[in-house]
Amino acid sequence: MSDIVLPVVGSSEAGGRPVLGFTCYPELRPFSTGDGDVNLVCGGCGFILVAGSTGTAQRPSMLIRCPSCGRYNDPVPQTA
Ligand SMILES: [Zn+2]
């Protein structure tokens, strides 16, 4: 299992882009859990946003708002 720390984007950069997030959180837990070997981790606080991703195929194209710290994470893979 490896962790991928997502880059955090500011609210101005997030403007206009769809955001995956809930307005209320009954509990802090990953948005989705799969059987892959990659965790997508919040770049702001280290919270696991997506557990068990199998890679880029399962990454959402929208921003992910961290339920723990409220920052916007960009899951789009960066070209190294
Ligand atoms: Zn966070």
- Concatenating the DSSP letter of every residue in 21-55 gives --SS-SS---SEE-SSSEEEE-TTT--EEEEEE-S
* Reported pTM: 0.78
* 79 assigned to some structural domain: no
The mean predicted confidence, pLDDT, of the chain is 81
Q: What range defines the domain where residue 59 resides?
A: 2-73
Q: State the pLDDT confidence band at 42, using cuts at 50, 70 and 90.
A: very high
pLDDT higher than threshold 80 for residue 24? no
Q: What is the pLDDT of residues 43-75, one digit of tens each?
A: 999 999 989 987 665 566 788 889 899 899 998
57 CA from centroid of ligand 1 (Å): 22
Tell me which DSSP letter residue 58 carries.
Answer: G
Residues that place a CB less than 5 A from ion ligand 1:
42, 44-45, 47, 66, 68-69
Provide the domain count of the chain: 1
* 80 assigned to some structural domain: no
* 38 assigned to some structural domain: yes
Q: What is the rounded distance in angstroms from the CA atom of residue 70 to the CA atom of residue 80?
A: 27
Task: Determine if residue 52 is left, alpha or beta; phi over 0 gives left, psi from -120 to 50 gives alpha, anything else beta.
Answer: left
